[in-house]
Amino acid sequence: MNKPLILVVEDDSAIRNLITTTLEMHDYRFHTAPAGSAAIVEASSHNPDIVLLDLGLPDMDGVEIIKKIRTWSNMPIIVISARSEDSDKINALDAGADDYLTKPFSVEELLARLRVTLRRLNAMQSKAGTNEQSVFINGDLKIDYAAGCVYMCGEELHVTPIEYKLLCLLAKNIGKVLTHTFITKEIWGSTWENDVASLRVFMAALRKKMEKASSSRQYIQTHIGVGYRMLKLE
Ligand code: CA
């Protein structure tokens, strides 16, 4: 594989330099953008493998950039922001960000997030090339892995990238209880307390959407203090 190309969107030159130095040392290629408008131009002209995105930019809010990129691309976007409120995190993830890193962050943490994201990207690309079962069906739930779409009772269910990943993980392990630690490790590559707290928020949102679209049929069971399980339905 060629060296992965990372787009670094950050207006603070000290942080930008820290990130690009780290990337350079670990065999990544990069482009940089100090503002939102430049970020959109770079993202569309270079099609990076991953975008590292600061939310507080001089010309526009990072969430707007996520929304714009999502109109044409599923490229992974990792938000790096000083905003630590849950609501900020959820806004960015709802807009389509794949992951979130709170400033100040450690270089190791950044590298771990990049590795997990790349692994997932590679797994998706190699799967797209095989004839492996590409549709999952359970009751009225259907996941089209190739298209990355979810359907409930024949209607498309709109889920965020994180919700989609959670759903696929549960589907692949249908019938089994997955622990919080296992899930956060698979989704975020870590088991930080923070991620376990976010997991509860995402699971609650996902379950609500699924139940609303299926006349309250239960697909995901919560095992309090342990984890979650997808139930097998007729
Ligand atoms: Ca900033």
Q: Name the CA dihedral angle for 233, 130, 117, 213, rounded to a multiple of 10 degrees.
A: -30
For residue 32, list its beta bridge partners: 8
Tell me how far the alpha carbon of residue 198 lies from the centroid of ligand 1, in angstroms.
23
For residue 8, list its beta bridge partners: 32, 52
Residue-level pLDDT at 178: 94
Tell me how far the alpha carbon of residue 56 lies from the centroid of ligand 1, in angstroms.
4
How far apart are alpha carbons 167 and 103 in whole angstroms?
Answer: 28
Task: Kindly give, in sequence order, each residue whose CB lies less than 8 Å from that of residue 121, ignoring residues fewer than 6 positions away.
Answer: 49, 50, 76
Tell me how far the alpha carbon of residue 34 lies from the centroid of ligand 1, in angstroms.
9
Tell me how far the alpha carbon of residue 11 lies from the centroid of ligand 1, in angstroms.
5
pLDDT in tens, 6-49: 999 999 999 999 999 999 999 999 999 999 999 999 998 898 99
Tell me how far the alpha carbon of residue 48 lies from the centroid of ligand 1, in angstroms.
21
Tell me how far the alpha carbon of residue 61 lies from the centroid of ligand 1, in angstroms.
10
pTM: 0.63
Strand-pair category, 220-223 with 227-230: antiparallel
Tell me how far the alpha carbon of residue 74 lies from the centroid of ligand 1, in angstroms.
23
Tell me how far the alpha carbon of residue 183 lies from the centroid of ligand 1, in angstroms.
31
Task: Kindly give, in sequence order, each residue whose CB lies less than 8 Å from that of residue 192, ignoring residues fewer than 6 positions away.
Answer: 184
pLDDT in tens, 90-121: 889 888 898 889 888 999 999 999 998 888 88
What letters, b where the CB count within 10 A reaches 16 and e where it falls short, cover 127-164? eeeeeeeeebebebbbbebeeeebbbeeeebebbbbbb
> What is the three-class DSSP state of 229?
strand
pLDDT in tens, 211-223: 999 989 999 999 9
By the 8 A CB rule, do 6 and 16 touch? no
pLDDT in tens, 187-196: 887 767 677 8
Mean pLDDT of the region 151-156? 93
Residue-level pLDDT at 133: 65
Tell me how far the alpha carbon of residue 75 lies from the centroid of ligand 1, in angstroms.
21
Tell me how far the alpha carbon of residue 232 lies from the centroid of ligand 1, in angstroms.
46
By the 8 A CB rule, do 41 and 18 touch? no
The structure tokens listed for 233 are: 């339905």
Q: Among 59-73, 120-134, 145-159, where is mean pLDDT lowest?
A: 120-134
Compute how many other C-beta atoms are within 10 angstroms of the C-beta atom of residue 43: 23
